């Protein structure tokens, strides 16, 4: 220690210059980090997730070299990376990174900090996307209790906890309980954030979705309209989230067989998405998808096939072959081919979807069960009753385990299985 002090005393100006250089270098590195994060956000907005991840990984390295691997700023970048991997459908990687960020936040700021809470919500959301509903509920419920105790009942993050729990239960088909949770969220959001806040509008939209699932269309419509008005007022008509609200309104019209209104709304949504984000974006693909559904309902199979194929092409190019949304496009095309009695093509596309779902979501996910059920229907039409029965059994076992024996999907699948067994006996 004495020798180091002596060296410093011998050349004070040199030591000062070195410290200044170090500080300047750190500032430059942090400016570069911020620039990379900005580029990452811009790439994410274009749904160029691989590019966005690349920028963030570079930003993470810079942050770790200057501030350390356990610094909250580093955790913030890891959190962003987790969110991006989730958007890209790489849920296992997203969960791993979210756990890393959460560990840093808890050690640095504790469980009651807002950033820790948001990270916990992301972890619960990723579990939901993976179909791990019980774990997702436990995580979300735990964080909600922390929010209520640490932040109070009327805090935006407490409201978000009710909202997230509602989304998980709605995904399970428990619409009545989801309705109550959305109303709890809205009571807080309207008081704390106001009716004209985007987060409040998102809850209006999700509650409307629940009402639509319960065939309570008269209650759903004003909420969809309210959500759309808020998005237009706050974000403007040329914002992707606003255009998504048009898309949601169109789905509502289509469910009610109000095809003219649905068509106009979807055309407006498509024009908006293509103008703002371009043709090659997942949000635009979602509109192609819904337009295709509309044409399918009207038995315009040629136009439906064209748009389903276009949505699939966009999803493959932007999200990749192994993304759940890509699998969803294969399912949509397969179901269309079922309607067109092209059972060989239907089987091939269901198999493609099944490969993705089993790999990404696992065998015990409701989406996977849905493909087992639909592929069984295809086999029935092909006269392959043995294969159909096996798949109905697999689908039913998943529905009963994950969603419960009394869930509508389980009941429909059970009826399909009973029907096929009667067919085999006759």
Q: Give pLDDT, residue 87.
A: 85
Q: Give pLDDT, residue 364.
A: 87
Q: Residue 277: which pLDDT band, with cuts at 50, 70 and 90?
A: confident
Q: Give pLDDT, residue 295.
A: 95
Q: Output helix, strand, coil percentages for the chain, rounded to the nearest 5.
A: 85, 0, 15
Which residues 6+ apart lie within 8 Å of 398 measured at CB?
363, 364, 365, 366, 368, 369, 372
Rounded to 10 deg, the angle between the 156-171 and 175-192 helix axes is 160
On whether the CB atoms of residues 211 and 240 are closer than 8 A, the answer is: no
Mean pLDDT of 291-302: 95
Q: Give pLDDT, residue 125.
A: 93
Provide the CATH topology of domain 18-126. Answer: 1.25.40
Instruction: Flag whether pLDDT at 7 surpasses 50.
Output: no
CB burial string 295-329: b at 16+ within 10 A, e below:
bbeeeebeebbebbbbbbbbbbebbbebbbbbbbb
Kindly list the domain boundaries of the chain, sorted by start residue: 18-126, 152-235, 237-308, 320-426
Instruction: Flag whether pLDDT at 6 surpasses 80.
Output: no
Q: Give pLDDT, residue 260.
A: 93
Q: Give pLDDT, residue 9.
A: 34
Tell me how many degrees the CA angle 84-89-91 measures, rounded to the nearest 5: 85
On whether the CB atoms of residues 365 and 395 are closer than 8 A, the answer is: no
Which pair of tokens denotes residue 241? 């989230």
Computed over every residue of the chain, the mean pLDDT equals 90
User: For the structural domain made of 152-235, what CATH number should be given?
Assistant: 1.25.40.10
The secondary element (H helix, E strand) that includes residue 156 is: helix 156-171
Q: Residue 4: which pLDDT band, with cuts at 50, 70 and 90?
A: very low
Instruction: Flag whether pLDDT at 29 surpasses 80.
Output: yes
Q: Give pLDDT, residue 21.
A: 56
Mean pLDDT of 264-273: 90
Q: Give pLDDT, residue 426.
A: 66
Nearest to 353 by CA among 333, 338, 339: 333
Instruction: Flag whether pLDDT at 199 surpasses 50.
Output: yes
Nearest to 174 by CA among 369, 367, 407: 407
Q: Give pLDDT, residue 11.
A: 36
Does the 237-308 domain belong in CATH 1.25.40.10? yes
Instruction: Flag whether pLDDT at 13 surpasses 50.
Output: no
With tokens 């498509």, the residue in question is: 270
Q: Are both 18-126 and 320-426 of the same fold?
A: yes
Mean pLDDT of 367-383: 95
Between CA 334 and CA 328 the distance in angstroms is 10
> CATH number of the domain at 320-426, out of 3.40.50.10540, 1.20.58.100, 1.25.40.10, 3.90.950.20?
1.25.40.10
Q: Give pLDDT, residue 149.
A: 94
Instruction: Flag whether pLDDT at 20 surpasses 80.
Output: no
Instruction: Flag whether pLDDT at 423 surpasses 60.
Output: yes
3-class SS at 340? Answer: coil
């Amino acid at each position: 220690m004495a020798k180091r002090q002596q060296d410093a005393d011998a050349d004070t100006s040199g030591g000062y210059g070195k410290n200044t250089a170090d500080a300047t270098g750190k500032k430059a590195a942090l400016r570069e980090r911020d620039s990379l994060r900005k580029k990452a956000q811009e790439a994410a907005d274009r749904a160029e997730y691989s590019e966005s991840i690349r920028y963030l990984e570079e930003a993470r390295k810079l942050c770790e070299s200057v501030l350390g691997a356990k610094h909250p700023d580093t955790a913030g970048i890891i959190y962003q990376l987790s969110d991006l991997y989730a958007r890209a459908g790489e849920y296992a990687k997203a969960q791993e990174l979210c756990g890393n960020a959460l560990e840093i936040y808890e050690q640095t700021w504790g469980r009651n900090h807002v950033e820790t809470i948001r990270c916990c919500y992301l972890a619960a959301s990723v579990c939901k996307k993976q179909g791990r509903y019980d774990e997702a509920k436990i995580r979300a419920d735990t964080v909600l209790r922390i929010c209520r105790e640490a932040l109070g009942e009327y805090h935006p993050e407490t409201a978000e906890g009710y909202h997230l729990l509602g989304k998980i239960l709605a995904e399970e088909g428990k619409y009545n309980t989801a309705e109550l949770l959305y109303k709890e969220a809205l009571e807080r959001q309207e008081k704390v954030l106001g009716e004209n806040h985007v987060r409040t509008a998102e809850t209006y939209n999700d509650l409307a979705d629940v009402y639509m699932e319960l065939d309570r269309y008269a209650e759903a419509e004003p909420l969809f309209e309210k959500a759309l008005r808020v998005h237009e007022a706050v974000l403007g008509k040329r914002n992707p989230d606003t255009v998504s609200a048009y898309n949601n309104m169109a789905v509502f019209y289509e469910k009610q067989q109000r095809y003219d209104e649905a068509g106009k709304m979807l055309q407006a949504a498509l024009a908006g998405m293509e103008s703002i984000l371009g043709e090659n974006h997942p949000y635009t693909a979602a509109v192609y998808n819904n337009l295709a559904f509309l044409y399918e309902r009207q038995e315009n199979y040629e136009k439906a096939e064209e748009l389903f194929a276009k949505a699939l092409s966009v999803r493959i190019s932007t999200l990749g072959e192994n993304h759940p949304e890509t699998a969803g496009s294969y399912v949509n095309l397969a179901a269309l081919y079922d309607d067109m009695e092209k059972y060989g093509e239907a089987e091939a596309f269901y198999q493609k979807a099944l490969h993705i779902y089993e790999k990404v979501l696992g065998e015990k996910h409701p989406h996977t069960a849905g493909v087992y059920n639909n592929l069984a229907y295809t086999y029935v039409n092909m006269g392959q009753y043995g294969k159909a029965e096996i798949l109905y059994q697999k689908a039913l076992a998943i529905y009963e385990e994950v969603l419960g024996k009394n869930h509508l999907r389980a009941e429909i699948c059970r009826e399909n299985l009973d029907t096929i067994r009667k067919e085999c006996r006759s």
